[in-house]
Structure 1
Amino acid sequence: MAETSARLLKLLSLLQTTREWPGPELADRLGVSTRTVRNDVDRLRRLGYPVRATRGAVGGYRLVAGKAMPPLLLDDDEAVAIAVSLRTVSGGAVEGMEETALRALTKLQQVLPPQLGRRVDALQSHTVQAGGRSRAQVDGSVLALLAAAARDREIVRFAYADYTGVESERRIEPYRLVNYGRRWYLVAFDVERDDWRTFRIDRLRDARSVGHRFTARPLPAEDIAAYVASKTRQVQMKVQGRVILHLPAELAERRMGGWTQGAIESLGDTKCLVSLGGRSVEDLAFWLGVLDADFEVVDSPELAAAVRRVGERYARATS
């Protein structure tokens, strides 16, 4: 009976992937005959799992949507991901779903093994959501490792490539994971540089705990999300320039949002002085054109030259 139950769980795990499994392939995976596979599929159907079978050379078995929600089989990473998501929703991140999410989270936590519960707690307590959705390819196991190290106050080593591509080996004390903009960042104290640093997690390689503990330091800022935002802007704003924009200051601020490197100073009802920052003067020249307003470059010859190049390019396009 135990062998049959284990085989059913393995069969269910295979069927929950988004593909159709030929009978002989399932039989080979499970080490049984195709007749046994058919019998096991019938058992799953009696348990409420809607397994569809198709005949023919390209036929096979697949799990489809049914009339009721059958029990799900989750691996460790899937269970942790669902628990963290439910905790976020139960905290009010999605209006109107707090109570439902809390009920589902309670059910899941009752059956989570202790080691998975600790992973969930580490991720939840050491992660800061700062708006936006991360689109960078970040390995969930790396996030879990860094969160666990932050919880247990363990020093971590990894290889890191900066924005220029130069790699270095880092030895750090991890404190917070921050999802800001469309990326994940790690706020940590760099032991060898004796200073706080913000690392893009998608640029980390070979992260591992070295097993040495550290004494927690006061965080570099009370608002960690704002701290990461300021550090990110410093990296992005490699060039600066000032322009007189032929727009009222209030309208300019609405059009530009947070895209400034300083204040917008009113110069009357129709003009304002704007300080800009960006990765390159070409970026600044492009975005100035998007504002759909006349402007004058004040004190940046490089920006003026970039604007001139953009203007000549547009002029050639219409000649």
Structure 2
Amino acid sequence: MQKTSARLLALLSLLQSRRDWPGALLAERLDVSPRTVRRDVDRLRELGYPIVTFKGPDGGYRLGAGAQLPPLLFDDEQAVAVAVALQLATAAGAGIEEAAARALTTVRQVMPSRLRRRIDTVRVTAVGRPTDRPAPAVDTGVLMAVSTAVHDHEVLRFGYRSSEEEEVPRRVEPHHLVTWGGRWYLVAWDLDRDDWRTFRADRITPRTPNGPRFTPRELPGGDVAAFVAARFRGAPDPSPTSGADWPCRGEVILDLPADVVSRYTREGLAEALGPDRCRLVLGSWSWPGLAAALGRFDADIEVVGPPELKAAFAHLAERFSRAAAS
């Protein structure tokens, strides 16, 4: 980006951050002369931004409202944020899906080719509606690295952290970047485990360079939304259309590998915490029923929550003890 263009972007960002800006303060923040500020303000006006001059001891500028949308100035992170936000809006369920798609097309047309490339690279599939639960933040650089590998069909190498912060090297053929219940996931073919896996994006640390290009495999069922919904059924997603609206839902840690647990449960989400441990989120129609379903795994169980699930285990333990005594 040229120096003048970068300065215009910085000036516009400052004008958007507060109502009134004294000219001298703008010059100080931009490290230029007041004359340069006046010249840059004139350039922004030529682009269509309604900048008003106010007089007084601290005379300066303010950004007006009500003008037609002019050509936009975005930095890389803002361009990615706009693309992601508009793509996620297509699954908002608020009747704005078509408008969001048209808005993304409009925004793309007024961006330089370099940023259009970034927007075209970011492809997000929203599975289920957003939730109000807190979600871990994902670095924009991680989203771009994963999206680029998906777009270019290149093997992705990364470190993957468990809940104990132990990072394990992984090699995958990345296929889709998705959101589920407010969290970001990568759907990929795991080259070392020879199976489909889902990875939380906030636990991914990309390694460079990427591996060789690959021919994408066909996802089971052919539809990423159906695939993710089937894998995550029972995970926290309050959408009434998700097929996972269980009245009782709990979370445990099992002393078993995630791939072993996944073979015997189609309704839960098993997340690897290490080579021989996994976190499992499962739903059922009752707390005793959920405890019994989890008890079928021949492994030690640590209840993460909620308290009702722990109480159900205690209740079943007493019942089973009486049955064994009789």
Does TM-score exceed 0.5, indicating one fold?
yes
Where does residue 104 of structure 1 map in the other structure? 103
Closer/same/farther in 2, CA of residues 3 and 157 from structure 1, 3 Å limit: closer
Q: Does 1:275 align with 2:290?
A: yes
What is the percent sequence identity of the aligned residues?
Answer: 41
Which deviations, in whole Å up to 9, do the C-alpha atoms of 1:138-176 show, x marking residues without a partner?
012311221221121111112211123322122222112
Unpaired segments of 5 or more residues in structure 1? 240-258, 265-271, 290-294, 305-319
Seen in structure 2, the aligned counterparts of structure 1 residues 66 and 288 have a Cα distance that, compared at 3 Å, is same
Paired with 1:181 and 1:297, the residues of 2 have a C-alpha distance of 30
Q: Is the 8 A contact 1:155 1:209 kept in 2?
A: no
Matched, 1:225 2:228: yes
**Distance (whole Å) between structure 2 residues aligned to residue 281 and residue 5 of structure 1:** 56
**Aligned residue for 2:316?**
299
Aligned in 2, Cα 1:50/1:286: closer, same or farther, shift over 3 Å?
farther
Q: TM-score with structure 2 length normalisation?
A: 0.62
C-alpha contact (below 8 Å) 1:122/1:147 kept by paired residues: yes
Give the residue type in structure 1 aligned to 2:316. D
CA distance in 2, matches of 1:261, 1:94: 24
Q: Distance in 1 between the 2:217 and 2:82 partners?
A: 31
Measure, in 1, the Cα distance between the counterparts of 2:303 and 2:30: 61
- Residue 195 of structure 1 aligns to which amino acid in structure 2? D
CA distance in 1, matches of 2:250, 2:190: 18
1:86 touches 1:101 (CA, 8 Å); kept in 2?
yes
Query: Which of the pair has more CA radius of gyration?
Result: 1
Q: Distance in 1 between matches of 2:78 and 2:3?
A: 25
* Correspondent of 1:130 among 128, 131, 134: 128
Q: Which has the higher helix share?
A: 1
TM-score by length of 1: 0.64
1:41 offset after TM fit, Å? 3.8
Gaps of 5+ in 2: 237-248, 255-280, 296-300, 322-326
In structure 2, do the counterparts of structure 1 residues 106 and 263 end up closer, same or farther at CA, with 3 Å as the change threshold?
A: closer
Aligned residue number for residue 272 of structure 2: none
What per-residue deviation string (whole Å, max 9, x for no partner) do you get for residues 240-281 of structure 1?
xxxxxxxxxxxxxxxxxxx855555xxxxxxx9522359844
Q: 1:38 Cα deviation (Å)?
A: 4.2
The answer on whether the counterparts of 2:161 and 2:204 sit within 8 Å (CA) in structure 1 is yes
* 2:194 paired residue number: 194
Q: Which amino acid aligns with 1:229?
A: F
Residues 129 and 122 of structure 1: CA distance in aligned 2, closer, same or farther (over 3 Å): farther
Matching of residue 119 in structure 1 with residue 118 in structure 2: yes
SS of equivalent to 1:219: coil
Determine if the alignment matches structure 1 residue 238 to structure 2 residue 253. Answer: yes
Whether the 8 Å contact between 1:188 and 1:198 is mirrored in structure 2 is yes
Please list, as runs of the form range in 1=range in 2, the aligned pairs for 1:1-319 lying within 5 A after superposition: 8-17=8-17, 23-28=23-28, 30=30, 32-38=32-38, 40-41=40-41, 44=44, 47-51=48-52, 63-64=62-63, 66-71=65-70, 72-89=72-89, 91=90, 93-98=92-97, 100-124=99-123, 127-133=125-131, 135-220=135-220, 222=222, 223-230=226-233, 236-238=251-253, 261-262=283-284, 264=286, 274-276=289-291, 280-281=302-303, 283-286=305-308, 297-300=314-317
Between the aligned partners of 1:11 and 1:171, the Cα distance in structure 2 is 43
